[in-house]
Amino acid sequence: MNAKRAGYDGVVAAVPVTVPYQRYSKETAHWWIARALRQLAEEAGIKPSEIDGFCASSFTLFPDTAVGLTQHLGLTPRWLDHIPFGGASGIVALRRAARAVQAGDANVVACVAGDTNHVDSFRRMLSSFSRFAQDASYPYGSGGPNACFALLTDHYMRQFGATREDFGAICVAQRENALRNPHAIMKKPLSLQQYLDARAISDPIALFDCVMPVAGAEAFLVMREDDARAAGLPHAHIRSSIERHNAFPDDPIQMRGGWAMDIDELYGMAGVAPDQIDVLQTYDDYPVIVMMQFEDLGFCEKGDGPQFVRAHDLTIEGDFPHNTNGGQLSAGQAGAAGGYIGLVEAIRQVTGTAGPTQVKGAKTAMASGFGMINYDRGLCSGAAILSGDTA
């Protein structure tokens, strides 16, 4: 039995920032992260020197880490973290930064994820992603994450009767949401028929099941509620959060993520139930992972994901607004920023600042993260429940 965890009272997330994505960029990760930091400071009305906590995530920063960034970008933080957790980076950054602020180790923590995308950077990253990937997955067809998720999707479909139409419904709804997001890389509508007819990539995965690697950055600040209020910054309360790594290692193939281990604590700490979540931002590198999150985050039973998708409208105005900015599937996957995009959008939603993608009356949001296909499955998972001042 775990000890009861302290809440995040008095700490908020604010200033959600997106540096508009580009398909390819000649710039570096340093450049993208600098732009995000600059935007954070400007929108918060503070000088960069007032940022005394810094947390960075990036796949394309090599040979630098957050340490090198401090000198490169002229920061002198008294609290520094580097989180190489891919799609779980945003949630984990939020958790750690919140505790740092709560404990007084830092006043304002800038949490930033940014990556560039050169023409060849995706291939380079894949071939040296992890030791297990190098030894035991990349030599098998070198399909990268497409092939790994194709295996999970194939197994999930056989196990639970999900169809390509079910996955298509998720992608089509997100595209509809993306059309309202001026920053989304995908600008054209997507029909279910177009989804089904798309070029096969790694069966059963086809083109529109895959994210588009792009360059971009996402960021937010974690600070004391009093400071945010004094500065007049819209802010989101952190009601609860979880993270888990290498959950269920004995499952022969991934059918659930670490959320399933910690979901009771997530809702318990926040004091809310699934039906009180007004808007959900899942990690959507592939639609099968979205479906698993609907299950593992408590919105339906394991195996009922396909049924859940059939029964709900996942668009902004639907009965279950999901990935309201289009998610990575339609807005693009900016490397580690893919682990931030949902959380940043969730902060916007509960602070009523989402603009064209705003869900009316959204008070409470959940964002989840998932990352690092070290070998055959995603190892890192996390989730957070946020709410606005009026919740």
Partner 1 sequence: MTDPLNPPPRKNPQKRTRIPTRPMPMRSRAALGLAAAAAEGRFMLQTCAECGTVQYPPRDACGACLSVELNWTDVSPAGHLIADTTVRTSTNVYFRERAPWRVGTVRLDVGPSAICHVHGDVAADDPVRLVIKLDKSGQGVLFALPQKTTPNMEDDPHMREMTCDPKFRRVLITDARNENAPALAQALADAGASLIFVGESEAWRPYPHRDALEKTANVKIVPLDVTDTASVAELAGEIGGKTDILVNNARFVRPGGIMDRGDVVFARDEMEVNFFGMMRLAQAFGPAMRGRGADGDNSAAAWVNILSVYALSNMPEFGAFSASNAAALSLSQCLRGELIEGGVRVMNVFTGPTEDEWHQPLPPPKVLPAALARAVVDGLREGLEDVFVGDVAKDLIDRWRAGPKILEREMMDPGGQG
Distance CA 285, CA 186 (A): 15
152 in contact with partner 1 (CB under 8 A): yes
| Interactions with partner 1, residue window 161-220 (CB under 8 A) | 199-205
Distance CA 364, CA 270 (A): 10
Number of residues that bind partner 1 (CB under 8 A): 39
Given the complex with partner 1, which of 131 and 310 has the nearer CB atom? 131
3-state secondary structure (DSSP) of residue 238: strand
Output the smallest distance, CB 140 to partner 1, in A: 5
| Interactions with partner 1, residue window 280-299 (CB under 8 A) | none
144 in contact with partner 1 (CB under 8 A): yes
- The helix, strand and coil proportions of the chain, stated in percent and rounded to the nearest 5, come to 40, 20, 40
Output the smallest distance, CB 155 to partner 1, in A: 4
Output the smallest distance, CB 141 to partner 1, in A: 4
**H/E segment holding residue 385:** strand 378-387
Mark the segment that binds partner 1 (CB under 8 A) among 84-92, 142-150, 189-197, 320-328.
142-150
Secondary structure of 107-173 in HEC code, one letter for each residue: CEEEEEEEECCCCCHHHHHHHCCCHHHHHHCCCCCCCHHHHHHHHHHHHHHHHHCCCHHHHHHHHHH
Output the smallest distance, CB 148 to partner 1, in A: 8
Mark the segment that binds partner 1 (CB under 8 A) among 88-96, 173-181, 249-257, 332-340.
249-257
Distance CA 57, CA 339 (A): 9
Contact 326, 367 (CB under 8 A): no
139 in contact with partner 1 (CB under 8 A): yes
| Interactions with partner 1, residue window 23-82 (CB under 8 A) | none
Given the complex with partner 1, which of 5 and 124 has the nearer CB atom? 124
- Single out the residue of 63, 104, 232, 252 in contact with partner 1 (rule: CB under 8 A): 252
Distance CA 215, CA 114 (A): 8
Output the smallest distance, CB 152 to partner 1, in A: 7
| Interactions with partner 1, residue window 98-137 (CB under 8 A) | 122-123, 126-128, 131-132, 134-137
Output the smallest distance, CB 132 to partner 1, in A: 5
Report which of 19, 20, 40 is spatially closest to residue 97, judged by C-alpha positions: 40
Tokens 């995000």 -> residue: 36
Report which of 6, 7, 64, 8 is spatially closest to residue 34, judged by C-alpha positions: 64
Task: For the sheet with 235-245, list strands across it.
Answer: 79-82, 53-57, 108-115, 215-224, 11-22, 235-245, 378-387, 364-373, 279-281
Contact 145, 373 (CB under 8 A): yes
Output the smallest distance, CB 202 to partner 1, in A: 5
| Interactions with partner 1, residue window 311-370 (CB under 8 A) | none
Given the complex with partner 1, which of 265 and 376 has the nearer CB atom? 376
Residue ranges binding partner 1 (CB under 8 A): 122-123, 126-128, 131-132, 134-144, 146-148, 150-152, 154-155, 158, 199-205, 249, 252-253, 375-376
